[in-house]
Amino acid sequence: MARNGGVAWMRTTEKIDGYDLSTSDTEEVHVLAVDDSLVDRKVIERLLRISSCKVTAVDSGRRALQYLGLDEEIQKKETNGFDGLKVDLIITDYCMPGMTGYELLKKVKESSAFREIPVVIMSSENVIARIDRCLEEGAEDFIVKPVKLSDVKRIIDYTTTELREGEQREGARARRRGINKRKQREGDDDLSSSPPSTLSSSASSSPSSSIQSAAAPLSPSTLDSPTRRLKMTSSE
Amino acid sequence: MELVQIQRRLVDYTKSLFMEGFLDAQFLQLQQLQDDSNPYFVFEVVSLFFEDSEKLLNELTIALDQPNVDFKKIDSHVHQLKGSSSSIGAQRVKNACIAFRNYCDVQNIEGCLTCLQQVKQECYLVKNKFETLFRLEQQIMASGGSVPTIELGF
C-alpha cells in the first residue's frame, strides 16, 4: 500500500514514521489518540506505548476524522483516507474546542467503515449524565482523567481480546461455510449442525504486578470497568 | 556528597513534596512511565506543562484586564490549566484552578483576580520544587547512579 509522506500535525510514534509496512495482523494494537492538550497527548502517548501499542496522536476531532478519511471536506478516493495504519481503537478527550469527543464518537459510529472501532472517552469531569450519554452513543468505555496506567492496560487488554475473538469468529465462520459447501456437494441437506467452536476466549493477560495501582484486577473477558458496573447498578 | 547521600536526599525531598501537598499520586504514575529508554520523560512532560501554563496565565491576565470580561473564555483557560496540572500531579495548582473556576461560575471579578494570583503563586512554587528535584536527579545520573523512585503508600 502506498504511503504518503506523513503530515506535520500528527505523529506516529514508530521510528519509521508513517512508512510502517506492517499489516493489521501484527499483535500490536494501533490506537488513535485525540486530545487538544499537549501535556495530555504526551502522557497518553507514553501510556499507550508502554502498553505495547502503536500510537498516532492528533490534536483535534477534525484531525482524527481526516486521519480516518472521514472528513467531508477532503475527498478521498482510497478507502484508507490518509493511508494510515488500520486503527484498532480510538481514545479521545471529551472537552475539546471545535469538535468535542462526543461529536467525534457520533461521527465514527455513524460511518459504516469505522463504526466497529471501539471508542473510549476521557474526561476530567466525572458526570454520570455525560458518561451515560457517551455509552448510549456507543462508546466502549469512559475514563476519568488523569489517566493511569491501569486504565490503559485494562482497555488494551479487552481490545486485544475482542480483536482476537473477532478473528477467531471470522475463522470459525469461514470454516463453517467451507464445511457447508462440502455437505451440499455430497447431497447432505443437514446444515444445522455446525462444527464444534474452536473459540477459547482465554485471553491471558498478566498485568505487570509492580506497577499496578490498587485498582481492580484486570479481567478482560468480563469487561470489568467502572463504567460497566456503573451502568448495571444505575436505576432505569 | 556521596551518591547514596544524594539519593537519600532525593527520596526525602520527594516525600516532603507529597506531604506538603505539592504533588499527588499522579506524579508517581508519571515516574512509572520513565525508564532507561525514556530517562527524561518526567522532565519533558513537566517542561511542557510550564510552557503551557505560562501561555495560559498570560492569556488569563489579559482576559481579566478587559473592560468586558469574557468569563467563558477565562473558564476555558482555567479548565485547561486544571487538566494539565492534574495530569502531572501538581495538586496545589489543580486545587487553585478549581477555586478559580468557582469564581468564574458566579462571574466574580475580584475573586477571579485573587485566584489568578493564587494560581500564579502555586505555579511558581511548584516550578522551584521541580527544579530542585531535577537538579538532584541530574547529580545522581552524573555520578552514574540510578534515580530512586518512591513506592505508593510510603
Residue B152 lies inside a defined structural domain of this protein = no
Is residue A221 a contact partner of residue A160, using CB atoms and an 8 Å limit? no
Domain with residue B30: its CATH number is 1.20.120.160
Whether B128 is covered by a domain: the verdict is yes
* pLDDT tens by residue, chain A, 236 residues: 444 444 556 655 544 444 444 444 456 899 999 999 999 999 999 999 999 999 999 999 999 999 998 876 655 544 444 556 799 999 999 999 999 999 999 999 999 999 999 999 999 999 999 999 999 999 999 999 999 999 999 999 988 888 788 878 888 887 877 777 666 666 554 444 444 444 343 444 444 443 433 444 444 444 445 555 444 444 43
Gap between the Cα atoms of A9 and A47, Å rounded? 20
Give the DSSP letter of residue A140. Answer: S
Q: Which of B17, B18, B90 is nearest to B48 (CA)?
A: B90
Helix (H, G, I), strand (E, B) or coil at A120: strand
At CA A157, angle to CA A151 and CA A159, rounded to 5? Answer: 105
Nearest of B125, B129, B72 to residue B96 by alpha carbon: B125
Q: Which three cell numbers stand for residue A69?
A: 478519511
Strand order across the beta sheet in which A53-58 lies: A11-12, A53-58, A29-34, A89-93, A119-123, A141-144
Picking from B28, B30, B33 by the largest number of A CB atoms within 10 A of its own CB, the best residue to mutate is: B33
Of B33, B79, B87, the CB nearest to A146: B87
> pLDDT at position A234, please?
41
In this structure, are residues A138 and A119 in contact, taking their beta carbons and an 8 Å threshold? yes
**B150/A contact by beta carbon, under 8 A:** no
At A150, the amino acid letter reads S
Write down the pLDDT at residue A187. Answer: 56
Domain count across chain B = 1
The C-alpha atoms of residue B90 and residue B73 are separated, in whole angstroms, by 23
User: What residue type is B88 in one-letter code?
Assistant: I
pLDDT value at residue A144: 96
**How much is the pLDDT for A209?**
40
| Interface-testing mutation among B24, B80, B84, B87, with chain A (most A C-beta atoms within 10 A) | B87
The pLDDT, as a whole number, for residue A197 is: 42
State how far the alpha carbon of A29 is from the alpha carbons of A19, A20, A61, A86, A162, in Å.
17, 14, 20, 9, 11
Q: What is the pTM of this model?
A: 0.76
| Range A30-173 has CATH code 3.40.50.2300 | yes
Phi, psi for residue A193 in degrees, rounded to 5: -85, 125
Q: Which residues of B touch A42 (CB under 8 A)?
A: 44-45, 48
pLDDT of residue B16: 97
Range of the domain at B101: 1-143
Q: What span, in angstroms and rounded, lies between the C-alpha atoms of B52 and A39? A: 8
Residue A172's pLDDT is what?
81
Question: Given this model, what pLDDT does residue A225 score?
Answer: 56
pLDDT at B36: 86
Domain annotation covers residue B150: no
Taking the Cβ of residue B152 and every Cβ of chain A, the question of whether any pair is shorter than 8 Å is answered with yes
CA distance B48 to chain A (A): 6
> What one-letter code names the amino acid at A65?
L
* B149 inside 8 A of chain A by CB: no
pLDDT tens string, chain B, 154 residues long: the values are: 789 999 999 999 999 999 999 999 999 999 999 998 999 999 999 999 999 999 999 999 999 999 999 999 999 999 999 999 999 999 999 999 999 999 999 999 999 999 999 999 999 999 999 999 999 999 999 998 888 877 766 5
Q: Residue A52, SS3?
A: coil
